[in-house]
Amino acid sequence: MGLIRYVCLSDQHLGYDLGLLTKLDGQGHPIYSEVSPVMQAFCDGLRELLVKNRQEHTAQFEEMGRPTLVLMGDVLDLAFATMNGAGMVFETFMRLIAQDGDRLFDQIIFIPGNHDHHLWETAREAKYLDYVRKNPDQPTTELVPWHATNVFVTTDARARPPDPRILTLPVYSEFLTILAQKFPALKDHKVRIAYPNFGLFNQDNSNCVLFHHGHFFEGLYYFPSTLKELLFPHQKWPRDVWDVECENFAWIDFVWSELGRSGQVGQDMETIYERLIRGLQSTIRGPNQLPSLSRVRSEPESVIRETEHHLAESFLSVIENMSVEWESSHTDHPMSRHLRFLLRWYVNWPLRNQVIAELGRELSHAPPMTLLFGHTHKPFLDTMRLTAWGKIYAYNTGGWLIQSVDAEPVYGGALAFINEDLQTAYLRMYVEGRPEHELEAETLDSSAQGFVDEINGLIDQHSIWDGFGEEADDAVQRREGFLEQRTKAQASD
């Protein structure tokens, strides 16, 4: 039981017209500056719940203040929305967070995902330039552009100096901070970044929670590392967070955080994506045979252009073939065998190595660990056993967008509440195709049952989020209809 200290959610995909939190007009076009009905209902209920919780724990609230909002990646959809469009929807979210001058949160932690990875790139590059500027006597060649922050960014005093390649200085998203500070209640807020991992220990180190967006649990995001292994088999697969990000960041940034915003090309990429998630065959062709040497000599310009087309087709063919392995496309189970394997590998190696580097101790006697992530858009909770950690509690917070024209109960959105003892209450907010879904918090940790019961008591007593399932279902059906119309139009082109 106790005061809610952290509210965690992921995959809002703000700005994307298939996202439930972006308002649409009657033709399915985004209205970025207005609040969607689902976002309004979600924030109204969240405000009521947090206010009632603080009223029941007045002494704790006066001592600790408001909770921290943990945004676990793909908050902005920079693949299928413009920066300004996604930013405007984030601004409407901040407006509701700061409504009537009573902000809901004292701090915001942002863990970038693949769709808003570019915000991490701009933040780390700005921090690097600032560091170079403030250290003029140090040779620039000795300054390394960091590819990760430390895990425990809010508890720096407990961490020893880690690998110099890990950024220990505070890193903020200037873009998200500027948008948040537009509102008087948030004028002192800075949106702090932790990437790719964020972690918490409670006061007596008896409990630990680790956060990751989830993209490094999926093989698609290791394409450059996979290519390296194929071309140079003597080189090792990365086992440190730094190397994982360093080898793959450009691929992630280009395909999922920049390409979709590239004018007409970006719109075409969205069309291809929508065809892929519907399981349709695209018009992508494989490269034909190479031109003859005589033709290269007689028609060089024509051959160059054909070769460019072949390369582009080959690239798109790679994307199409890899899409078969997208975790979000598997609807038979909330976590595929492939995802489970890579989750275990990432947590046992890169994540574990980073935690050990910061804490200066092995984890053979680590406390029970809770792992929160999103990315797959399939909410679930599961108890797992990992070699290096023992038993862990895994929670996936789902997503706030549709995946196809057919509702699948495996998809939906969830959030997690965490108290001072780092006990987790997990709340599935909506389930696709089930408007009658009743809100009921749950947990994998038996010691957290009292906290869960308290959350459920507040929801039931005050009818918080009453009718939210129907609101979300209506938004899902509307977007499924718009997607169906688009794909039919594309098929007739």
Q: Give pLDDT tens digits for 143-192.
A: 667 899 989 876 544 445 456 666 777 899 999 999 999 999 999 999 99
- Three-state DSSP at 148 gives strand
Distance between CA atoms of residues 207 and 451, nearest Å: 15
- Per-residue pLDDT for 491 more than 80? no
Work out the mean pLDDT of the chain and round it to a whole number. Answer: 87
pLDDT at 290 (0 to 100): 46
Asked whether the predicted pLDDT for residue 338 surpasses 80, the reply is yes
Model pLDDT, residue 455: 97
pLDDT at 142: 61
Mean pLDDT of 383-408: 93
- Over residues 400-419, the mean pLDDT reads 95
Contact 401, 11 (CB under 8 A): yes
Q: Which of 94-103, 363-372, 403-412 is least confident? A: 363-372
The structural domains of the chain, with segments of one domain joined by +, span: 4-213+368-492, 260-323
Tokens representing residue 243 in the block:
């190397």
Instruction: Please determine, for residue 409, whether its predicted confidence score (pLDDT) is greater than 70.
Output: yes
Q: In degrees rounded to 5, what are phi and psi of residue 54?
A: -70, -30
pLDDT of residue 307: 55
pLDDT band per the 50, 70, 90 thresholds, residue 130 = confident
Residue 476: CB partners within 8 Å, gap ≥ 6? 20, 402, 407, 430, 432, 433
Q: Which residue has the tokens 């939906």?
A: 412
Q: DSSP class of residue 14? A: B
Residue 167, judged by CB atoms within 10 A of its CB (0-12, 13-18, 19+), counts as buried
Lowest mean pLDDT among 100-109, 295-304, 422-431, 458-467: 295-304
Q: Does residue 445 or residue 259 have the better pLDDT?
A: 445
Please tell me the least confidently modeled range out of 60-64, 128-132, 185-189, 458-462.
128-132
pLDDT at 162: 52
Judged against a pLDDT cut of 70, whether residue 202 lies above it is answered with yes
> DSSP labels for 275-344?
HHHTT---S-----PPPPHHHHHH-HHHHHHHHHHHHHHHHHHHHHHHHTT-GGG--S-SS-HHHHHHHH
Bigger pLDDT: 460 vs 360:
460
User: Residue 367 above 70 pLDDT?
Assistant: no
Helix, strand, or coil here: 380?
A: strand
Residue-wise pLDDT tens digits, 284-322 = 344 444 445 454 456 556 645 655 555 555 555 555 555
Nearest to 420 by CA among 116, 63, 41: 63
Question: Quick one: pLDDT at residue 412?
Answer: 98
**What is the spatial distance between Cα 401 and Cα 190, in angstroms, rounded to a whole number?**
27
Cα–chain-centroid distance for residue 407? Answer: 22
Return the bridge partners of 209, or none.
Answer: 200, 370
Contact between 369 and 394 (Cβ < 8 Å):
no
CA atoms within 13 A on the CB side of 442: 16
Q: Average pLDDT for residues 102-129, to the nearest whole number? A: 95
In this predicted structure, the answer to whether residue 81 has a pLDDT above a threshold of 80 is: yes
Region 83-88: mean pLDDT is: 96
Residues 79-87, mean pLDDT to the nearest whole number: 94
**Which 3 state secondary structure label does DSSP give 387?**
coil
Greater pLDDT, 198 or 359 = 198
Average pLDDT, stretch 345-355?
94
Pairing status of strand 22-24 against strand 107-110: unpaired
Residue 281 has pLDDT above 50, yes or no: no
Report the range of poorest mean pLDDT among 118-127, 237-246, 303-312, 386-395: 303-312
Largest CA distance in the chain: 85
Give me 71's structure tokens: 């945004």
Q: What is the DSSP secondary-structure string of 30-50?
A: EEEEEE-HHHHHHHHHHHHHH
What confidence score (pLDDT) does residue 203 get? 75
List, in sequence order, every beta strand (DSSP E) within 137-194. 148-149, 166-167, 191-193
pLDDT of amino acid 258? 85
CA gap 267, 278 in Å, rounded: 17
Average pLDDT over residues 425-433: 97
- What's residue 93's pLDDT? 98
For range 5-23, the mean pLDDT: 98
With 0-12 / 13-18 / 19 or more C-beta atoms within 10 angstroms meaning exposed / middle / buried, residue 359 is buried
- Pairing between β-strand 380-386 and β-strand 369-373 as defined by DSSP bridges: unpaired
Q: What is the pLDDT of residue 17?
A: 95
Q: Which stretch of 132-146, 463-477, 478-492 has the lowest confidence by average pLDDT?
A: 132-146
For residues 263 and 384, which has the higher predicted lDDT (pLDDT)? 384
**Strands in 397-469 per DSSP E:** 412-419, 424-431
Radius of gyration, CA atoms only, the chain: 23
Q: What percent of the chain has pLDDT over 90?
A: 65
68-77, 204-213, 342-351, 445-454: lowest mean pLDDT where?
204-213
Neighbouring C-beta atoms of residue 301, cutoff 10 Å:
7
Fold topology of 4-213+368-492: Purple Acid Phosphatase; chain A, domain 2 (3.60.21)
Q: Helices 37-56 and 83-97, interaxial angle, to 10°?
A: 30
Average pLDDT over residues 464-488: 94
Is 229 in contact with 391 (CB distance < 8 Å)?
no
Cβ atoms 448, 371 nearer than 8 A: no
**Are the beta carbons of 150 and 156 closer than 8 angstroms?**
yes
Determine what percent of the chain falls in helix, strand and coil, rounding each to the nearest 5.
45, 15, 35
> How are beta strands 30-35 and 22-24 bridged, if at all?
antiparallel
